[in-house]
Structure 1
Amino acid sequence: MQLDRIDRNILSVLQGEARITNQELADRVGLSPSSCLNRVRKLQDAELIGPYLGIVNLAKLFRSVTVVATVSLKDQSTEAFRCFQEAAQAIPEVVECHVVSGSFDLFMRIVAPDMLRYNAINDQLLDVLPGEVNISSHVVLHTPKEFSGYPLNELWEGYN
């Protein structure tokens, strides 16, 4: 799908304010409400936006521990990666999992109610491929910058 400046503006606005009304969005990007809604629907159909998520403030709800874990697999086969990824996807507390290049194979973010539960998750992941998995855990102490969306304008500038 070819994106023009208006489509890019729509994406930028929705990324930061997913609950904005169509009227407000149309005003911000300089379109009529019906044209704006049509463009948003096309962007959704092309799977360029969505699903829409609400960001939950965990600290205000209850205590939790966030762990960034790096994973190395001794067996570098496609089957070993598939098996480990399926196991990670099945654990709700594994909120992110990335296959990466470099000195380890996967990068995961795990949010658990406490260290006892994190330890159980760690053991569960180690047992996926016994003796073949090395997990290095890093407990998040403070997050000075949360994810708040992609730098779309900077990425578009670099793309052109």
Structure 2
Amino acid sequence: MKLDRIDLKILKHIQTNAKTTNQDLAALVALSPSSCLQRVRRLEAEGIITGYYATLNLAKVSRHIMCIATVSMKNHSAKDFRKFESAVESIPEIVECYTVSGEFDFFLRIVCPNMARYLEINEMLVGSVNYSLKINTHVVMNENKVFKGIDLSKLSSDD
């Protein structure tokens, strides 16, 4: 699907504030409310908008630790990758998982109540592929720049 400048404006505003009413969004992108709603629904139907989420200040919700873990598989069989990915899916504290290139195979972001729970998660992951992986963990000390959406004007699909 080719996106025009109005679609990109809609996406920009929805990323910054998904609670924006259709009326306000239409005014921001200079469309009628019905045209704006049609575009948003099309963007959803095409899978470009995949959901709406609230950003939480976890420090105000509960005590927790956040860890960034890199995982290296000793065996690169598709079966072991699937086992590991299945284990990751089953653990709600693993909030992000990426398969990556380079020195390690996966990059995880884990948010849990304490180090004891992290160690349980670590054991579950290691056990999922019969101890044939290496996990390097980094405890997050401070969040210096958190994800707040992507500046779509900096991306170009024409290159």
Same fold (TM over 0.5): yes
Under TM normalisation by the shorter chain, which class is it? over 0.9
Tell me what 1:76 maps to. 76
> What secondary structure, in the 3-state scheme, does the structure 2 residue paired with 1:23 have?
helix
- Taking the aligned partners of 1:123 and 1:89, their CA distance within structure 2 comes to 15
1:144 aligns with 2:144: yes
Q: Which amino acid aligns with 2:124?
A: Q
- Residues 9-158 of structure 1 mapped to structure 2, 5 A cutoff: 9-156=9-156
Q: Tell me which stretches of 4 or more aligned residues in structure 1 moved more than 3 Å.
A: none
The worse-fitting range, judged by mean Cα deviation, of 123-132 and 103-112 is 123-132
Structure 2: runs of 5 or more not aligned: none
- Taking the aligned partners of 2:122 and 2:135, their CA distance within structure 1 comes to 8
Q: Which amino acid aligns with 1:72?
A: S
- Taking the aligned partners of 1:4 and 1:135, their CA distance within structure 2 comes to 43
Deviation at 1:159, TM superposition (A): 3.8
Q: Considering only aligned residues, what root-mean-square deviation do their CA atoms show, in Å?
A: 1.0
Q: Which amino acid aligns with 1:129?
A: V
- Taking the aligned partners of 1:113 and 1:55, their CA distance within structure 2 comes to 18
- Taking the aligned partners of 1:36 and 1:30, their CA distance within structure 2 comes to 9
Give the count of matched residue pairs: 159
**CA shift in 2, pair 1:50/1:131, >3 Å:** closer
Q: Which amino acid aligns with 1:105?
A: D
Structure 1: runs of 5 or more not aligned: none
Deviation at 1:2, TM superposition (A): 1.4
- Taking the aligned partners of 1:80 and 1:43, their CA distance within structure 2 comes to 36
Q: TM-score, normalised by structure 2?
A: 0.97
Deviation at 1:142, TM superposition (A): 0.3
Tell me what 1:4 maps to. 4
> What secondary structure, in the 3-state scheme, does the structure 1 residue paired with 2:128 have?
coil
Deviation at 1:129, TM superposition (A): 1.4
- Taking the aligned partners of 1:153 and 1:45, their CA distance within structure 2 comes to 22
Q: Which amino acid aligns with 1:130?
A: N
- Measured against aligned partners, the alpha-carbon deviations of 1:42-92 in whole angstroms (never above 9, x if no partner) come to 001101003101111110011100000000000101111111001011100
Q: TM-score, normalised by structure 1?
A: 0.96
Same amino acid, percent of matched pairs:
47
